[in-house]
Amino acid sequence: MSQPVPPATDTLNFMDMIQLAEQLHHQLVEQLREADCQPAPSAIQQHDCLLRLISEAIGQLKQLVLRHTFPDTQEEIRFFKHCKPKFTSLLIYHTRLAQLDLKMPLGSRQDMLGHFEKELLLIRVFYEQHVSLYQYFLSQATFLDERLFVRGNQDLPSPYSTTSVDSDTRFTTHYDYLFGRFLANERLRQYLLQAIEDLERPAPAGPSAGQRAAISWTGSKVHLIELAYALYESGQINGGTTGVQEIAERLEDFFQVKLGGVYRTFQEMRQRKKDSRTKFLDLMKERLLCRMDTLDGS
């Protein structure tokens, strides 16, 4: 992932640096999506792979910042308030997922529910401990930006205080981490709620005698999730009253496949920038039109 970082002799202006950082983030999201779809010997090794990709990208982002001089305070704020937290949130989110898997109890369904609910409680406690900053984050306020997102500024009133998580003050404002954690916590909360819902759902009945042989999905799981959302948004199933999760579950049953984090995958699909965000739908349209053209003799 070294492509976005230019040679050390280059002089970067602000827009060049921001564009490179955004490009680095888009490449990272795409790499994480692809790596998450690849089989791995174990869940721990899968997490290690994802975390390694994120750490490498953050290392490159740091090099961009260390070689760059922000032309004014507002542009430094823009980077540390909006750009860097997106990288930090990925690191926190995937670290927490790895910890969830590592500490997953081997007992009953109720034990696993308790495991996820405990993590939800920790998120709520974290919000309560940082309520003033969280309100500032949600309100998209700006009146404290120069004290929160400019390096070297730490003289904040106690309701906004926090601890440093990065010893290199050239690459941290202390508070960009918290904004990254707020982003990660919201994504993790959605993941946990979905995991709890999956556990509380009754197990589907087994196939009846004489049922036809099942057909299986051999394509990318991401493509099947894209199809599920497209069916939901088109409103063609039960007059549009069937939720996307139920549609995904029916597709899972029909194609004998486990899709996993449907909501999380959709959020990653939304962040595609360089490529189409509807790769599978585009492919289906292309193949269908090609078939029609062939039959038409064109």
| Distance of alpha carbon 108 from alpha carbon 114, whole angstroms | 10
The DSSP secondary structure of 89-149, one letter per residue, reads HHHHHHHHHHHHHHT--SS-HHHHHHHHHHHHHHHHHHHHHTHHHHHHHHHT--TTHHHHS
Task: Give this prediction's pTM.
Answer: 0.65
Query: Per-residue pLDDT tens for 62-74?
Result: 998 988 888 888 8
Query: What mean pLDDT is reported for the chain?
Result: 82
Mean pLDDT computed over 225-237: 87
Query: Per-residue pLDDT tens for 241-290?
Result: 787 888 888 888 888 888 877 888 888 888 776 677 888 898 888 888 88
Query: Per-residue pLDDT tens for 87-121?
Result: 999 999 999 999 998 898 887 888 989 999 999 99
CB atoms within 10 A of CB 277: 12
Nearest to 64 by CA among 48, 44, 79: 79
| Planar angle of CA 195, 201, 202, nearest 5 degrees | 145
Mean pLDDT computed over 227-235: 87
Q: Percentage of the chain with pLDDT > 70? A: 84
Q: Tell me the angle at which helices 262-270 and 175-200 cross, rounded to the nearest 10 degrees.
A: 140
Where in the chain are the domains? Answer: 14-200, 221-296
Nearest to 220 by CA among 28, 30, 37: 37
| Distance of alpha carbon 246 from alpha carbon 231, whole angstroms | 11
